[in-house]
Protein backbone atom coordinates (compact mmCIF):
# COMPACT_ATOMS: atom_id res chain seq x y z
CA UNK A 1 0.00 0.00 0.00
CA UNK A 2 1.30 3.46 -0.88
CA UNK A 3 -0.24 6.88 -0.21
CA UNK A 4 0.19 10.15 -2.06
CA UNK A 5 -1.10 13.51 -0.83
CA UNK A 6 -1.34 17.12 -2.01
CA UNK A 7 -2.58 20.01 0.13
CA UNK A 8 -3.33 23.53 -1.04
CA UNK A 9 -4.79 26.64 0.59
CA UNK A 10 -7.58 28.42 -1.26
CA UNK A 11 -8.79 31.94 -0.44
CA UNK A 12 -12.45 30.96 -0.29
CA UNK A 13 -14.73 29.32 2.26
CA UNK A 14 -15.58 25.61 1.96
CA UNK A 15 -19.13 26.42 0.82
CA UNK A 16 -17.65 27.97 -2.37
CA UNK A 17 -15.23 25.10 -2.97
CA UNK A 18 -17.51 22.13 -2.26
CA UNK A 19 -19.93 22.73 -5.17
CA UNK A 20 -16.98 22.90 -7.59
CA UNK A 21 -15.44 19.73 -6.16
CA UNK A 22 -18.60 17.66 -6.53
CA UNK A 23 -19.48 19.06 -9.97
CA UNK A 24 -17.20 16.37 -11.39
CA UNK A 25 -18.56 16.53 -14.94
CA UNK A 26 -16.96 19.98 -15.30
CA UNK A 27 -13.51 19.11 -13.96
CA UNK A 28 -12.05 18.93 -17.48
CA UNK A 29 -12.72 22.68 -17.76
CA UNK A 30 -10.27 23.49 -14.96
CA UNK A 31 -7.71 20.67 -14.77
CA UNK A 32 -5.65 19.19 -17.59
CA UNK A 33 -5.38 15.95 -15.57
CA UNK A 34 -8.89 15.08 -16.79
CA UNK A 35 -9.86 14.57 -20.43
CA UNK A 36 -13.52 13.81 -19.69
CA UNK A 37 -15.84 12.69 -16.91
CA UNK A 38 -19.33 11.31 -17.32
CA UNK A 39 -21.68 10.45 -14.48
CA UNK A 40 -23.20 7.02 -14.91
CA UNK A 41 -25.96 7.52 -12.34
CA UNK A 42 -28.56 10.26 -11.80
CA UNK A 43 -28.12 12.86 -9.03
CA UNK A 44 -27.45 13.22 -6.24
CA UNK A 45 -23.69 12.67 -6.06
CA UNK A 46 -23.74 10.14 -3.22
CA UNK A 47 -22.35 6.83 -1.99
CA UNK A 48 -22.72 4.35 -4.84
CA UNK A 49 -22.59 7.00 -7.61
CA UNK A 50 -20.40 5.86 -10.50
CA UNK A 51 -18.35 8.09 -12.76
CA UNK A 52 -16.48 7.20 -15.96
CA UNK A 53 -13.16 9.08 -16.09
CA UNK A 54 -10.75 9.50 -18.99
CA UNK A 55 -7.29 10.87 -18.14
CA UNK A 56 -4.21 11.43 -20.29
CA UNK A 57 -1.68 8.54 -20.12
CA UNK A 58 -4.12 6.28 -18.21
CA UNK A 59 -6.75 3.75 -19.19
CA UNK A 60 -10.34 4.99 -18.78
CA UNK A 61 -11.92 3.80 -15.58
CA UNK A 62 -15.09 3.74 -13.56
CA UNK A 63 -14.85 5.29 -10.09
CA UNK A 64 -17.49 4.56 -7.44
CA UNK A 65 -18.18 6.97 -4.58
CA UNK A 66 -17.61 5.13 -1.29
CA UNK A 67 -18.06 7.94 1.22
CA UNK A 68 -19.48 11.47 1.29
CA UNK A 69 -19.47 14.00 4.11
CA UNK A 70 -21.54 16.80 2.49
CA UNK A 71 -19.70 20.10 2.41
CA UNK A 72 -16.48 18.45 3.61
CA UNK A 73 -15.23 15.38 1.73
CA UNK A 74 -15.83 12.57 -0.68
CA UNK A 75 -13.97 9.38 -1.44
CA UNK A 76 -14.17 7.23 -4.53
CA UNK A 77 -12.42 4.07 -5.64
CA UNK A 78 -11.55 2.27 -8.84
CA UNK A 79 -10.02 -1.08 -9.69
CA UNK A 80 -10.43 -4.63 -8.51
CA UNK A 81 -10.67 -5.25 -4.79
CA UNK A 82 -7.79 -7.48 -3.73
CA UNK A 83 -5.73 -7.02 -6.92
CA UNK A 84 -5.24 -3.25 -7.37
CA UNK A 85 -7.63 -0.78 -5.80
CA UNK A 86 -7.05 2.96 -6.12
CA UNK A 87 -8.81 5.08 -3.51
CA UNK A 88 -8.94 8.87 -3.90
CA UNK A 89 -10.14 11.29 -1.23
CA UNK A 90 -11.02 14.98 -1.61
CA UNK A 91 -11.28 17.01 1.60
CA UNK A 92 -12.03 20.70 2.17
CA UNK A 93 -11.73 22.25 5.62
CA UNK A 94 -11.98 25.83 6.89
CA UNK A 95 -8.89 27.74 7.97
CA UNK A 96 -8.41 31.42 8.91
CA UNK A 97 -7.41 32.44 5.37
CA UNK A 98 -10.21 30.46 3.65
CA UNK A 99 -9.89 26.72 3.18
CA UNK A 100 -7.41 23.91 3.01
CA UNK A 101 -8.01 21.27 0.35
CA UNK A 102 -6.29 17.92 0.69
CA UNK A 103 -6.25 15.42 -2.16
CA UNK A 104 -4.97 11.92 -1.48
CA UNK A 105 -4.59 8.71 -3.44
CA UNK A 106 -3.94 5.29 -1.97
CA UNK A 107 -2.97 2.15 -3.89
CA UNK A 108 -4.13 -1.08 -2.21
CA UNK A 109 -4.26 -4.78 -3.02
CA UNK A 110 -1.80 -7.48 -4.01
CA UNK A 111 -0.45 -5.33 -6.86
CA UNK A 112 -0.98 -2.00 -5.07
CA UNK A 113 2.72 -1.41 -4.43
CA UNK A 114 3.47 -2.13 -8.08
CA UNK A 115 0.73 0.31 -9.15
CA UNK A 116 2.10 2.96 -6.79
CA UNK A 117 5.62 2.47 -8.17
CA UNK A 118 4.44 2.59 -11.77
CA UNK A 119 2.01 5.51 -11.42
CA UNK A 120 3.23 7.42 -8.36
CA UNK A 121 4.98 10.19 -10.27
CA UNK A 122 1.97 10.69 -12.57
CA UNK A 123 -0.39 10.55 -9.57
CA UNK A 124 1.54 13.35 -7.84
CA UNK A 125 1.62 15.38 -11.06
CA UNK A 126 -2.15 15.00 -11.58
CA UNK A 127 -2.97 15.84 -7.96
CA UNK A 128 -0.89 19.01 -8.30
CA UNK A 129 -2.72 19.93 -11.51
CA UNK A 130 -6.09 19.27 -9.88
CA UNK A 131 -5.25 21.29 -6.76
CA UNK A 132 -3.91 24.26 -8.75
CA UNK A 133 -6.85 24.14 -11.17
CA UNK A 134 -9.37 24.04 -8.33
CA UNK A 135 -7.66 27.02 -6.70
CA UNK A 136 -7.74 29.02 -9.97
CA UNK A 137 -11.37 28.08 -10.60
CA UNK A 138 -12.63 29.02 -7.13
CA UNK A 139 -10.52 32.15 -6.67
CA UNK A 140 -11.30 33.62 -10.11
Return the pLDDT at 81.
77
**Average pLDDT, stretch 83-89?**
95
Angle at 108 between CA 103 and CA 111, to 5 degrees: 130
pLDDT band at 80 (very low <50, low <70, confident <90, very high): confident
**pLDDT, tens digit, 9 for 90 and up, residues 112-129:** 999 999 999 999 999 999
pLDDT band at 1 (very low <50, low <70, confident <90, very high): low
DSSP3 helix / strand / coil % (the chain, rounded to 5): 30, 40, 30
Rounded to an integer, what distance in angstroms lies between the CA atom of residue 7 and that of residue 10? 10
pTM assigned to the model: 0.94
Domains and CATH numbers, the chain: 2-139 (3.30.530.20)
**Average pLDDT, stretch 11-25?**
97
Angle at 46 between CA 132 and CA 9, to 5 degrees: 20
Amino acid sequence: MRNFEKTIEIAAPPDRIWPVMIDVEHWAAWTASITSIRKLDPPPFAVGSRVHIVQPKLRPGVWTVTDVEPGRSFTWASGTSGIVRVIARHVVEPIDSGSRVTLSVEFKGILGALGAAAFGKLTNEYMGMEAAGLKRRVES
